[in-house]
């Protein structure tokens, strides 16, 4: 080694300092990694331990509270009495039980003594028998059988205990041993049964006491809380997950949202942030599910969390990732206001989803506001599509029939030419088969015709027919309306189109010139305005229509506000419309694609008559559209009533509104431009327009809009603003209290687009978006957004979809119709759903009985066959149409909707389904009345404490003037006896606020007894009084009723008891 080696920098340089520092850094980074691994990436650890302490504290305070209240229950005399009864019953059974127990103990001893020998013997014998079974030869089989016999002989010696406590030695063969063992077991089983019998009374009494305690203690018992406390103490901090293999679902949401674990927080316990004193804490995932009812329907063990709520169920390492709010996660957690979007995943084919009011509102708006006019949505208003496919099927079937008819003679000829009989017969049989086939085709064709007839009736448009514009509307108004839609009628469902200058001129000219002109309307004399107002307000128009502006507005929101109808309508047309809104000026022939006039009928020598009964084309080949495509029903008013109402409506106008002359509307040069524009703007989606009846929808289909890739939603020049959380107006966007929240997502797109339909055209050189400005409030925008957010591709296994095949399907199909025709305008159909009329001033307090009946239990109340007839013809009469068939005393009119057969069927099934009625309905047999019973029933019927006919109508005008309930003569056909029974015993339970008095009968020892002073004849009658009355009601005849009317105190004020 050279002596100056230290000078060599490679050898001399020390790296210890650098090594020390970097090693320290290495250790530090290792600790950092460990921290990250155990705490940083596992925030749920912190939440779980925080929950355990907070919940433990909550349970302690709850325990003290519950202990006091449970002591109160335990010390209550009722509980004491029950406890006493249980104790005495137990005491009574005690000696016998003791004796049985002793016997059982003795038997057990004997069994124990016998068992070892028995088991050994059985093992030996069965093993030898097996050897016999597999014996290779006959001789060896014999010798082995001998071995079995020998083994069975034993003898088996057993020391058996005797009742006196000693033992006896007994010797058994194998078969005896078996028998002894079985007999001991049987004896023991008998004794056990006997013991249960003896103890039954005591057990029942103890159960009754426990049940009483459970019922009278609100919340959890102290024991339950104790066990929960124990569960919390033993709770170990770990990932909690729901794993559903079949659905590919792994949800670890409960790792942070610990309170969702039913083992820790029972469903009966509702935890809010307030329960923990954490109201102010923004980040405390410890509340239990706010809708425990939903959790009962959707077992979390099957449904998990993320299929409904969105989010990334697998992620546990941060709130953002768990909620799926990180970039590129396709299904982020639904925001609070859109949470019901999750329901739509599986409930997409529902019309009405229980517990989801916002979603339901969205669906309803989508139909009612006419979104459906431009945007197809699977399952929504597809009568048009069905009609097309039906027509196509008809064409195919007709073609097939022609083919068969050509084929038949050929086959016969082939048969004639055949060489032998067998072949000939084969051909003849073929021809014969085809003949039968054609008859089957005929049957099918008939069905198709019925179906297409139904569909023609069912197909409705959102807006009114523009074919009648010329007869109905004031010419200048059309132009004004196009430009000032929302100004003229601030709550109209028609959206405001964004026309370019001069476009409205061409459109109004096109509409005006394409409209039909005749046959001319009948000239109508003016009616009484005052009477018209009264009729308008009382007949039920307000269930759908509103009237009055601003604060003065009253009525339903389903149909148009009629405040300024006088400015636009032609009086003669209005009279016809009110008299029968379905009446058309000319029928539409969907095959020839034109409106037929008298001249077309004349060609076939027919009169120009078309209505639902004469709906065939003049050549008799196919169905015509003979009705206006409106859901507005006929109220069956007389022409005088119609005139009065029309006269009243004609007074509804702004007198100072001026309309500019619009002579250009007669300019034929504008026709083609107008047609192109009307097509371009998709007017025919909502309106019936001549020559454009078969136009398709112009908008994009929205069935799966919620899962459209975000890149396909054109944010246009706002893309960057959306990504950076800046609203189009430059203000920061706000979500969940977060400023500058990114809105580059579906929610942001839908909300902005609905708020301002041309927002994404902003700044563009050429505008491309046609969507008009919808007339929706922020709340409605949220409902529609929720609906669209939920409209996604299939994300769950198919069997998760709500597609019930049972009565629940009838319910959904029914809701579709009930909302289509706005039955809820007049009737209450679901619990908690008020009708439009219900909230009106004129139906409050003592005027409640003037309301149309609630239909909550309609399916159980009426005979479905009757209901079908009633829906077909609510007047229940062929001649006198100006009346209500059932409730003649109501001013509100049950209108004629001209339902199609299939609609009637669906509505009837709907009402049966919501009342869980079996289908088909078989009327129950009723026990006939004996003459004595009939006399007794008469007494009851006319009893001064319950004079039925005081309120119920009889059909005699003088009496019915004061009636406030239906005629009894309808009952046998209309009502179901079981419901009637429930009704007369407690009507307020079925229909709160009804004029029918409750408490007419008292339940005495399992039968209903009249509660008024008992008429002498009924004293000692052993049967049910209410049942007697029902049976009588179902046999009442007009003569009988007239006779009874004489006996009844004369009618007083309706509703008075």
Partner 1 sequence: MWGDWHQLWEIVSVPDNVPIVALLFLVPFYTWYAFREAFKHDRLIAQLEGDAAMAKSHHRKPYPFKTGWDREVHVWPYLMRIEFLAAVILTVLLMVWSITLNAPLEEPANPNLTMNPAKAPWYFLGLQEMLVYFDPWIAGVVMPTLIIIGLMAIPYIDTNPLGNGYYTYRQRKFAIWAFLIGFLALWCTMIVIGTFIRGPGWMWFWPTQTWDHNRLDFAVNRNLHEVFGIQNRWVAMGFGAAVIGLFFAVAGYAMHRLCMATEFSRKIYQRMTLLQIITMHTLLILMFSLPAKMVARLVFRVKYVLVTPWFNI
Residues that bind partner 1 (CB under 8 A): 2-5, 7-8, 10-11, 15, 18-19, 22-23, 25-26, 29-30, 32-33, 36, 328, 330, 709, 711-712, 716-717, 719-720, 724
- CA 393 – CA 387 distance, rounded (Å): 10
Shortest distance in whole angstroms from residue 480 CB to partner 1: 38
Shortest distance in whole angstroms from residue 855 CB to partner 1: 48
The closest alpha carbon to 47, from 289, 217, 240, 189, belongs to 240
Shorter beta-carbon distance to partner 1: residue 481 or 743: 743
Shorter beta-carbon distance to partner 1: residue 8 or 619: 8
- CA 359 – CA 244 distance, rounded (Å): 27
- CA 573 – CA 592 distance, rounded (Å): 27
Shortest distance in whole angstroms from residue 704 CB to partner 1: 13
Cβ pair 47, 256 in contact under 8 A: yes
Shortest distance in whole angstroms from residue 8 CB to partner 1: 5
Shorter beta-carbon distance to partner 1: residue 720 or 927: 720
Shorter beta-carbon distance to partner 1: residue 717 or 988: 717
Q: DSSP label at 549?
A: S
Shortest distance in whole angstroms from residue 715 CB to partner 1: 9
Shorter beta-carbon distance to partner 1: residue 603 or 731: 731
Shorter beta-carbon distance to partner 1: residue 331 or 571: 331
Shortest distance in whole angstroms from residue 4 CB to partner 1: 5
Cβ pair 195, 100 in contact under 8 A: yes
- CA 161 – CA 109 distance, rounded (Å): 7
Shorter beta-carbon distance to partner 1: residue 136 or 709: 709
Cβ pair 350, 812 in contact under 8 A: yes
For the chain, report the end-to-end CA distance as a whole number of angstroms: 128
Shorter beta-carbon distance to partner 1: residue 3 or 1005: 3
Q: Which residues of 1040-1049 are buried (b: 16+ CB within 10 A; e: fewer)?
A: bbeebbeebe
* Other CB atoms within 10 A of residue 347 CB: 20
Shortest distance in whole angstroms from residue 245 CB to partner 1: 21
Shorter beta-carbon distance to partner 1: residue 40 or 548: 40
Shortest distance in whole angstroms from residue 760 CB to partner 1: 11
Cα-trace Rg, the chain: 41
Shortest distance in whole angstroms from residue 790 CB to partner 1: 21
Instruction: Cite the beta strand spans of 535-637 per DSSP E.
Output: 546-547, 554-555, 583-589, 594-595, 625-627
Residue 504 φ/ψ, nearest 5 degrees:
-60, -30
- CA 685 – CA 469 distance, rounded (Å): 17
Shorter beta-carbon distance to partner 1: residue 25 or 591: 25
Decide the pairing of beta strands 167-172 and 156-161. antiparallel
Shortest distance in whole angstroms from residue 614 CB to partner 1: 53
Shorter beta-carbon distance to partner 1: residue 11 or 105: 11
Shorter beta-carbon distance to partner 1: residue 2 or 77: 2
Shortest distance in whole angstroms from residue 2 CB to partner 1: 5
Rounded to an integer, what is the distance from CA 483 to the centroid of its chain?
40
CA atoms within 13 A on the CB side of 306: 28
SS3 322: helix
Shortest distance in whole angstroms from residue 310 CB to partner 1: 16
Shortest distance in whole angstroms from residue 725 CB to partner 1: 11
Cβ pair 315, 322 in contact under 8 A: yes
Shorter beta-carbon distance to partner 1: residue 462 or 718: 718
What CA–CA distances, in Å, run from 463 to 134, 589, 679, 684, 761?
A: 88, 20, 16, 9, 27
How many residues in total does the chain contain? Answer: 1057
Shorter beta-carbon distance to partner 1: residue 709 or 737: 709
Shortest distance in whole angstroms from residue 831 CB to partner 1: 44
SS3 1003: strand
Most distant CA pair in the chain: distance in Å? 145
Shortest distance in whole angstroms from residue 319 CB to partner 1: 15
Q: How many helices (H) and strands (E) does the chain have?
A: 40, 13
Give the containing element (helix H, strand E) for 762: none
- CA 864 – CA 894 distance, rounded (Å): 17
Shorter beta-carbon distance to partner 1: residue 39 or 609: 39
Tokens 């909502």 correspond to what residue? 686
DSSP string, 70-139: HHHHHHSHHHHHHHHHHHHHHHHHHHHHHHHHHHHHHHHHHHHHHHHHHHHHHHHHHHHHHHHHT-SSHH
- CA 740 – CA 407 distance, rounded (Å): 75
- CA 558 – CA 399 distance, rounded (Å): 44
Shorter beta-carbon distance to partner 1: residue 7 or 233: 7
Shorter beta-carbon distance to partner 1: residue 669 or 724: 724
Shorter beta-carbon distance to partner 1: residue 29 or 839: 29
156 forms beta bridges with: 172
Shortest distance in whole angstroms from residue 339 CB to partner 1: 24
Shortest distance in whole angstroms from residue 792 CB to partner 1: 15
Q: Which residues of 727-766 are buried (b: 16+ CB within 10 A; e: fewer)?
A: bbeeeebebeeeeeebbbbbbbbbbbbbeebbbbbeeeee
- CA 646 – CA 959 distance, rounded (Å): 32
Shortest distance in whole angstroms from residue 22 CB to partner 1: 5
């Amino acid at each position: 080694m050279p002596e100056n080696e230290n000078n060599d920098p490679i050898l001399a340089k020390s790296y210890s300092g650098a090594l020390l520092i970097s090693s320290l850094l290495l250790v530090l980074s290792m600790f950092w990694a460990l921290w990250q691994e155990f705490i940083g990436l596992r925030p749920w650890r912190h939440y779980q331990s925080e929950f355990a302490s907070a919940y433990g504290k909550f349970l302690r305070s709850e325990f003290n509270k519950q202990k006091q209240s449970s002591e109160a229950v335990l010390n209550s005399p009722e509980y004491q009495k029950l406890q006493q009864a249980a104790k005495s019953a137990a005491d009574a059974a005690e000696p016998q039980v003791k004796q049985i127990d002793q016997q059982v103990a003795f038997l057990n001893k004997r069994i124990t003594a016998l068992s070892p020998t028995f088991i050994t013997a059985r093992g030996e014998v069965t093993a030898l028998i097996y050897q016999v079974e597999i014996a290779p030869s006959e001789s060896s089989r014999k010798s082995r059988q001998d071995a079995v016999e020998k083994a069975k002989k034993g003898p088996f010696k057993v020391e058996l205990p005797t009742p006196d406590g000693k033992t006896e030695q007994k010797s058994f063969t194998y078969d005896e041993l078996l028998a002894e063992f079985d007999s001991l077991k049987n004896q023991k089983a008998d004794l056990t049964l006997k013991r249960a019998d003896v103890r039954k009374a005591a057990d029942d009494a103890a159960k009754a006491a426990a049940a009483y305690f459970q019922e009278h203690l609100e919340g959890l018992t102290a024991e339950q809380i104790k066990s929960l406390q124990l569960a919390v103490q033993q709770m170990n901090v770990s990932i909690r997950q729901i794993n559903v293999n079949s659905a590919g679902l792994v949800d670890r949401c409960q790792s942070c949202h610990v309170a969702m674990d039913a083992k820790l927080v029972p469903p009966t316990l509702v935890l809010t942030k307030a329960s923990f004193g954490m109201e102010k804490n923004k980040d405390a995932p410890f509340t239990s599910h706010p809708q425990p009812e939903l959790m009962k329907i959707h077992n979390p063990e099957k449904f998990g969390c993320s299929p409904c709520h969105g989010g990334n169920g697998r992620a546990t390492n941060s709130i953002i990732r768990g909620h799926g709010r990180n970039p590129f996660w396709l299904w982020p957690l639904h925001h609070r206001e859109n949470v019901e979007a999750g329901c739509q995943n599986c409930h997409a084919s529902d019309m009405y989803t229980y517990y989801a009011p916002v979603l339901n509102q969205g669906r309803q708006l989508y139909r009612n506001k006419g979104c459906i006019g431009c945007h197809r949505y699977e399952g929504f208003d597809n009568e048009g599509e069905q009609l097309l496919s039906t027509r196509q099927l008809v064409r195919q079937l007709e073609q097939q029939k022609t083919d068969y008819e050509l084929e038949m003679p050929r086959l016969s000829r082939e048969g004639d030419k055949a060489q032998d009989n067998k072949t000939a017969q084969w051909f003849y049989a073929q021809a014969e088969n085809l003949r039968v086939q054609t008859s089957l085709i005929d049957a099918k064709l008939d069905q198709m015709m019925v179906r297409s007839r139904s569909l023609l009736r069912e197909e409705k448009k959102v807006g009114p027919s523009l074919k009648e514009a010329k007869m109905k509307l004031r010419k200048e108004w059309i132009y004004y309306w196009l430009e000032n839609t929302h100004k003229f009628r601030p709550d109209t469902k028609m959206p405001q189109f964004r026309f370019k200058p001069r476009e409205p001129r061409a459109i109004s000219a096109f509409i005006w010139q394409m409209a039909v002109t005749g046959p001319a309307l009948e000239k109508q004399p003016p009616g009484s305005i005052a009477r018209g107002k009264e009729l308008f307000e009382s007949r039920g128009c307000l269930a759908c229509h509103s009237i009055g502006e601003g604060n003065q507005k009253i009525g339903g929101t389903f149909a148009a506000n009629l405040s300024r109808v006088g400015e636009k309508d032609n009086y003669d047309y209005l009279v016809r419309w009110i008299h029968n809104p379905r009446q058309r000026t000319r029928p539409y022939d969907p095959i020839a694609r034109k409106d037929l006039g008298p001249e077309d009928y004349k060609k076939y020598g027919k009169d120009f008559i078309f209505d639902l009964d004469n709906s065939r084309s003049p050549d008799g080949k196919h169905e015509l559209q003979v009705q206006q495509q409106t859901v507005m029903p006929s109220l069956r008013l007389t022409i005088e009533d119609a005139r009065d109402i029309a006269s009243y409506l004609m007074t509804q106008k702004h007198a100072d509104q001026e309309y500019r002359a619009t002579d250009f509307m007669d300019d034929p040069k504008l026709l083609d431009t107008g047609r192109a524009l009307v097509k371009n703007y998709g007017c025919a989606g909502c309106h019936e327009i001549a020559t454009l009846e078969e136009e398709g929808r112009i908008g994009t289909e929205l069935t799966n809009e919620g899962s459209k890739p975000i890149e396909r939603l054109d944010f246009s020049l706002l893309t960057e603003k959306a990504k950076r959380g800046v609203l189009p107006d430059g203000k920061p966007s706000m979500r969940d209290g977060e400023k500058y929240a990114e809105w580059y997502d579906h929610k942001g797109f839908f909300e902005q687009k609905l708020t301002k339909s041309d927002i994404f055209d902003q700044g563009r050189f050429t505008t491309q978006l046609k969507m008009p400005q919808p007339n929706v409030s922020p709340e409605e925008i949220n409902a529609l957004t929720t609906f669209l957010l939920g409209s996604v591709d299939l994300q769950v296994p198919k069997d998760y979809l709500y597609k019930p095949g049972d009565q629940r399907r009838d319910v959904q199909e029914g809701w579709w119709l009930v909302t289509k025709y706005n039955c809820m305008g007049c009737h209450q159909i679901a619990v908690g759903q008020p009708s439009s009329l219900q909230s009106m001033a004129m139906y409050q307090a003592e005027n409640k009985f003037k309301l149309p009946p609630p239909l909550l239990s309609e399916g159980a109340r009426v005979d479905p066959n009757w209901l079908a007839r009633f829906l077909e013809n609510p007047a229940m009469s062929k001649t006198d149409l100006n009346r209500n068939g059932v409730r003649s005393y109501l001013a509100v009119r049950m209108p004629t909707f001209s339902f199609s057969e299939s609609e009637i069927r669906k509505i009837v099934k709907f009402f049966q389904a919501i009342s869980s009625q079996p289908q088909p309905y078989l009327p129950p047999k009723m026990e006939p009345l004996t003459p004595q019973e009939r006399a007794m029933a008469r007494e009851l019927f006319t009893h001064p404490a319950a004079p039925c006919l005081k309120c119920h109508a009889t059909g005699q005008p003088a009496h019915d003037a004061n009636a406030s309930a239906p005629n009894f003569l309808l009952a046998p056909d209309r009502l179901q006896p079981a419901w009637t029974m429930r009704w007369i015993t407690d009507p307020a339970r079925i229909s709160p606020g009804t004029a029918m008095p409750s408490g007419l009968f008292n339940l005495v020892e399992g039968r209903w007894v009249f509660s008024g002073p008992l008429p002498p004849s009924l004293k000692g009658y052993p049967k049910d009084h209410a049942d007697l009355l029902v049976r009588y009601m179902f046999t009442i005849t007009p003569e009988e009723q007239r006779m009874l009317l004489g006996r009844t105190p004369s009618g007083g004020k309706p509703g008075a008891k």
